[in-house]
């Protein structure tokens, strides 16, 4: 089969398009013919560049953490999948325990194990994975959408539903509103009946959030974030801040925008791990700050159900050939705030 292989860390040119042996389904595994896999800034671009060495990627590596496609073979002991099933392949193993988070999957040696990081990923024509790492794609949901939603939807759902306990009529501020997590967060918040404020660093990015259903938008480069949030909420402040950026300039203003008993939920720190926090506001306003490394298997089902019903849409920027992986990486590296770049190995 054709695959993208990383033999050494570096720029996009280290991605080689080459022939490798077809994978074989071992016991409990399935082989999936890949129709879509996305380029993730952290888990693909940064890993390729050698900026995520703490993840322990094993070279040579076929990247791609979120493929979707069609099951072509099943290994011994597999009873929950059959040839022809359309599935999303999950980057981590999810526990069947509804309280367990992704990102805690371990191999027999007690090490984290993640597709596209520690075992061959989906930037290939075929990928082998444990059957338990797959989830059925509903009819009517394109492979590209399934890839994006399976990667980011459950995280957004977990933050808003389980952690923030967002209620109908409450106000939620979505930071990074034009990003892939933010755009899904906006749509999920609207399905929950919340009043949504899309926050981004440009009018064009705010417009993306508004077009997806946000009630209001704030460009933090042209407006004071706290003042504008208080104005929109009649002085009360927002009930929830949803973030995965940790921008040291804007996150303190977002925290200052929270109403009493407000909740900040986060699943990332792309802006850096250190952010100044006014702890007077935290204790005086009875605020909660909660983080999560991922999501739960149970959170994917409502996301796919919403997608099948036309209520949850992935923001796909472009679909490219697998052989164009290096160019796809350059596009993601050089363009912040864009929709997902998808590789489709069936195109060549």
Residue-level pLDDT at 273: 83
- For residue 107, pLDDT beyond 80: no
- For residue 330, pLDDT beyond 60: yes
Asked if 92 and 294 touch (Cβ cutoff 8 Å), the reply is yes
- For residue 108, pLDDT beyond 50: no
What's the mean pLDDT in 11-39?
98
What's the mean pLDDT in 191-203?
98
Fill in the DSSP letter of residue 136. Answer: E
Give the pLDDT confidence of 217-241 residue by residue, as tens digits: 999 999 999 999 999 999 999 999 9
- Least confident piece of the model among 40-44, 111-115, 182-186, 327-331: 111-115
Distances from the Cα of 309 to the Cαs of 89, 164, 182, in angstroms? 21, 24, 20
Which of the pair, 61 or 337, is modelled with greater confidence? 61
User: How far, in Å, CA of 313 to CA of 177, rounded?
Assistant: 14
Residue-level pLDDT at 191: 97
- For residue 294, pLDDT beyond 80: no
User: How far, in Å, CA of 75 to CA of 265, rounded?
Assistant: 40
Residue-level pLDDT at 184: 98
Q: Please give the radius of gyration of the chain, using alpha carbons only, rounded to the nearest integer.
A: 20
Distances from the Cα of 123 to the Cαs of 44, 47, 66, 116, in angstroms? 10, 14, 9, 8
State what percent of residues in the chain have pLDDT above 70: 94
Give the pLDDT band (50/70/90) at residue 300. Answer: very high
Which of the pair, 99 or 128, is modelled with greater confidence? 128
Domains and CATH numbers, the chain: 2-136+315-347 (3.90.180.10), 153-291 (3.40.50.720)
What's the mean pLDDT in 140-154?
97
What's the mean pLDDT in 289-296?
85
State what percent of residues in the chain have pLDDT above 90: 84
- Partners of 135 in the beta sheet? 88
Give the pLDDT band (50/70/90) at residue 148. Answer: very high
Give the pLDDT confidence of 262-286 residue by residue, as tens digits: 999 999 888 888 999 999 999 999 9
Residue-level pLDDT at 95: 43
Mean confidence (pLDDT) of the chain: 93
């Amino acid at each position: 089969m054709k695959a993208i292989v990383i033999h050494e860390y570096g720029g996009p040119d280290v991605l080689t398009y080459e022939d490798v042996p077809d994978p074989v389904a071992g016991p409990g595994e399935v082989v999936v013919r890949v129709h879509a896999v996305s380029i993730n800034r952290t888990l693909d671009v940064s890993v390729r560049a050698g900026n995520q060495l703490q993840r322990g990627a094993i070279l040579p590596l076929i990247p791609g953490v979120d493929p979707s496609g069609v099951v072509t073979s099943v290994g011994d002991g597999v009873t929950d999948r059959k040839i022809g099933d359309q599935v999303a392949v999950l980057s981590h193993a999810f526990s069947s325990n509804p309280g367990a988070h992704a990102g805690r999957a371990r191999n027999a040696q007690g090490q984290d194990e993640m597709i596209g990081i520690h075992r061959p990923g989906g930037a290939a024509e075929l990928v082998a994975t444990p059957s338990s790492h797959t989830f059925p794609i509903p009819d009517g949901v394109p492979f590209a959408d399934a890839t994006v939603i399976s990667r980011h939807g459950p995280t957004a759902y977990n933050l808003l539903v389980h952690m923030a306990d967002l209620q109908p009529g409450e106000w939620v501020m979505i930071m990074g509103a034009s990003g892939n997590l933010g755009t899904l967060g906006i749509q999920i918040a609207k399905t929950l009946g919340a009043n949504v404020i899309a926050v981004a660093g440009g009018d064009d990015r705010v417009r993306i959030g508004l077009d997806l259903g946000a009630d209001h938008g704030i460009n933090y480069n042209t407006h004071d974030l706290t003042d504008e949030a208080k104005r929109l909420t009649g002085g009360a402040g927002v009930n929830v801040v949803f973030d995965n950026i940790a921008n040291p300039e804007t996150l303190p203003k977002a925290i200052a925008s929270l109403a009493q008993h407000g909740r900040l939920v986060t699943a990332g720190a792309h802006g850096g791990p250190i952010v100044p926090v006014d702890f007077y506001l935290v204790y005086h306003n009875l605020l909660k700050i909660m983080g999560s490394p991922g999501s739960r298997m149970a959170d994917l089902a409502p996301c796919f159900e919403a997608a099948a019903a036309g209520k949850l849409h992935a923001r796909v920027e472009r679909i490219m050939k697998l052989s164009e992986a290096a160019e796809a990486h350059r596009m993601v590296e050089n363009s912040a705030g864009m929709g997902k770049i998808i590789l489709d190995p069936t195109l060549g």
